[in-house]
Amino acid sequence: MTANGRQPSRHQALMSRRALILGAAAVPISLPAGARRPEQFVTHRGWVLRADDLDRLGLR
């Protein structure tokens, strides 16, 4: 439920879930459907990266 007591729309709910997964913070995300390898991803300013990208690129 949202702060005003209304049920969030399906889109809002999905967006919230996606925001947790791919939000602005560097948060591990789930595998894409069909991915075979257990890669983990992070996001950084909208970039969808592998977990080690930020350290390797010196951007953390």
Partner 1 sequence: VIEDAEARSEDRFARPFDVCIVGSGPAGITLARRLGAKNLRIGLFEAGGLELTAESQDVYRGVTSGTPDYYPLDACRLRYFGGTSNHWGGWTRPLDAYDFTAKPHHPLSGWPIGKQDLDPYADEAADILNLTPDRPPPDLFIAPEPGLTPRLFRFSRPVTHFGEKYRAELEASKEIEVVLNANLVDLKLDESRRSVTEAVFRTYERPEPFSVKAKAFVLCLGGLENPRALLNADSQAPDGIGNENDLVGRYFLEHPHAPVGKVVVRDPLTRMLVYSPTPDFMRSNAILNFGVRIGDFEQWNAIDFTGALAPQPPCTVDFDTLLAAAMKGEPPPCPAHVGDVFVACEQELNPDNRVRLIAEHDRFGLRRIELDWRVSEMDLRTLHTAATEVAARLAARDRGRMQIVDWLLNGGAPTADRLWGGNHHMGTTRMSDDPKTGVVDANGRVHSVENLYCGGSSVFATSGHANPTYTIVQLALRLGDHLSETLR
Which residues sit at the interface with partner 1, rule CB under 8 A?
Answer: 9-12, 14-16, 18-19, 22-24, 29, 31-35, 37, 39, 41, 43-50, 53, 56-59
Q: Which residues pair with 29 in a beta bridge?
A: 41
Closer by beta carbon to partner 1, 5 or else 46: 46
Q: What residue ranges in the chain does DSSP mark as E strands?
A: 41-44, 47-50
Closer by beta carbon to partner 1, 5 or else 34: 34
CB atoms within 10 A of CB 18: 11
Minimum CB–partner distance for residue 5 and partner 1 (Å): 19
Closer by beta carbon to partner 1, 5 or else 33: 33
Using CA atoms, how far residue 30 sits from 34, 35, 55, 57, in Å, is 11, 10, 20, 22
